[in-house]
Structure 1
Amino acid sequence: MSIADNLIAFTLAATLLTVTPGLDTALILRTSAVEGRKQGLRAALGINAGCLLWGAAVAFGLGALIAVSELAYDILKYCGAAYLAWLGVNMLLRPRQSLAPAEAEGRPAANWFLKGMMGNLLNPKVGIFYVSFLPQFIPQGQPLIAWTFGLVGIHVLLGLIWAMGLISATQSMAGVLRKGKVIQWMDRATGLVFVLFAARLALSRR
């Protein structure tokens, strides 16, 4: 395939991957609906920062270590599962009651950029995906590092566009989504999703 064909094929594949519902979608929807546009955007930026860091790891060979080392993969997998489970259990047991600042409820404010980024970095499947997926769209003879960053950049751009669409969709229903009972339900539902993803990650194989 030509360079243009490779870019078009990757963009289509990455678009399908981006819009497929998953943990990132759940995190962005919950954060923007309950805590507002700015926090939703911070979560989205964190998620995509995680993608960029994974892209850098793959470009410089660290992703290949995760792909070939069972021990490295398992360590990262169980750390990621434990982190997701911790987030989920906290949402299940301590759902927000209102949109008052977190400090007013006796707990520190959430750093959704960091949580979004760590959720991606501690998921070895993202690294495995990049290691196995990206090379298929790098034309023979082209610089590996430059193309890896370029393709990851396309994926991140698509992710940000999708995130902005999700955030905008929640804002149109903000009046309903920010009622106390709805906030509690969304926190608990998202917490359950996180716990289920944690279990799935912990029990998954390559």
Structure 2
Amino acid sequence: MDPVMQAVIGFATAWAILILAPGLDFIFVLRTSLGDGKKAGVGAALGVALSIGLWGVAAAFGLAKVVAVSHLAFEILKWGGALYLAYLGGMLLLRPRNVLVEDETKVSQELTRDRALPSSFWLWFRRGAVVSLLNPQLGIFDLSAYAHVMPPNLANPVAFCLMLTVLQVVIVLPYHLFVALVANKAAVLLNTPWFVNLLDRLTGLVFLWFAYQLLQAHPPV
């Protein structure tokens, strides 16, 4: 088998297995679709996919290496991401709702005071993008994974890395869109005050846990 094709298949398999494990992005999309509707869930999924693509492009051109080797850059991103997750988690814990959002054309007033955005789609698109973009571990993963699977003496390593980036987005986006759509269907059956209140509180705790975990991260030596 061609070494490039073998590397691509190996990377795609590893990436697919990785995203199937319920991580921050999965939980973020799931909760958004359950709590704020299909439009918000789709927006969150697209925002996450955008950031994954941006980190991949940064890794392809070596920009993510700055985060990996610069302690200051890593710490800025790490603390920014942790504080943002803590903010979202705190809002869910302190202001849990008792009913799911029924009108998807309105922004959830229980979760945000930002009335300038035209719909929940753009609000959660932005939040999904920020959550993933402020996670420096994504860039470090791309750097290490791309270098690990790259065949030796490759004529155009940047093009190879960009191909892997596209592959990441092509795999993760349909999966998260599927999660968003299925979760939205389930929300119809789960729209009870106790469940919605519990969902917000549990998700708030999960976000705070991920914020703590992010603070424990260190740049590779």
Q: Same fold (TM over 0.5)?
A: yes
Q: Which residue of 2 aligns with 1:107?
A: 113
* One of 169, 189, 194 as aligned partner of 1:176: 189
Query: 2:184, 2:108 → 1: CA distance?
Result: 24
Pairing 1:134-149 to 2, within 5 Å after superposition? 134-140=146-152, 141-149=154-162
Q: Which residue of 2 aligns with 1:151?
A: 164
Query: 1:13, 1:153 → 2: CA distance?
Result: 15
Stretch of structure 1 that moved more, 7-16 or 160-169: 160-169
Q: 3-state SS of the aligned residue for 1:108?
A: coil
> Which letter maps to 2:135?
N
Query: 2:24, 2:108 → 1: CA distance?
Result: 26
Q: 3-state SS of the aligned residue for 1:178?
A: coil
Query: 1:104, 1:156 → 2: CA distance?
Result: 31
Query: 2:47, 2:16 → 1: CA distance?
Result: 19
> Which letter maps to 2:113?
R
> Which letter maps to 1:120?
S
Q: Which residue of 2 aligns with 1:166?
A: 179
Post-superposition shift, 1:177?
2.6
Post-superposition shift, 1:81?
0.8
Query: 1:104, 1:62 → 2: CA distance?
Result: 38
Q: Which residue of 2 aligns with 1:123?
A: 135
Gaps of 5+ in 1: none
> Which letter maps to 2:68?
A
Query: 1:104, 1:146 → 2: CA distance?
Result: 44
Post-superposition shift, 1:104?
6.0
Post-superposition shift, 1:103?
6.2
Aligned residues: 206
Relative to structure 1, is the Cα distance of residues 103 and 198 closer, same or farther in structure 2, using a 3 angstrom cutoff?
Answer: closer
Q: Percent identity?
A: 37
In the alignment, does 2:4 pair up with 1:3? yes
Pairing 1:52-131 to 2, within 5 Å after superposition? 52-98=53-99, 99-100=101-102, 101-102=106-107, 107-108=113-114, 111-131=123-143
Cα deviation, 1:177-199, whole Å, max 9, x if unaligned, reads: 33233222111111111101101
Relative to structure 1, is the Cα distance of residues 157 and 120 closer, same or farther in structure 2, using a 3 angstrom cutoff?
Answer: same
> Which letter maps to 1:9?
G
Relative to structure 1, is the Cα distance of residues 162 and 103 closer, same or farther in structure 2, using a 3 angstrom cutoff?
Answer: closer
Cα deviation, 1:140-161, whole Å, max 9, x if unaligned, reads: 3131221111101111111112
Query: 1:102, 1:38 → 2: CA distance?
Result: 10
Relative to structure 1, is the Cα distance of residues 155 and 32 closer, same or farther in structure 2, using a 3 angstrom cutoff?
Answer: same
Gaps of 5+ in 2: none
Is the Cα–Cα contact under 8 Å of residues 33 and 40 in structure 2 kept in the other structure? Answer: yes
Pairing 1:10-89 to 2, within 5 Å after superposition? 10-89=11-90
Is the Cα–Cα contact under 8 Å of residues 54 and 126 in structure 1 kept in the other structure? Answer: yes
Structure with a larger share of its residues in helix: 1
Cα deviation, 1:87-110, whole Å, max 9, x if unaligned, reads: 110111112332154466583365
Query: 1:144, 1:38 → 2: CA distance?
Result: 38
Query: 1:132, 1:174 → 2: CA distance?
Result: 38
Post-superposition shift, 1:139?
2.4
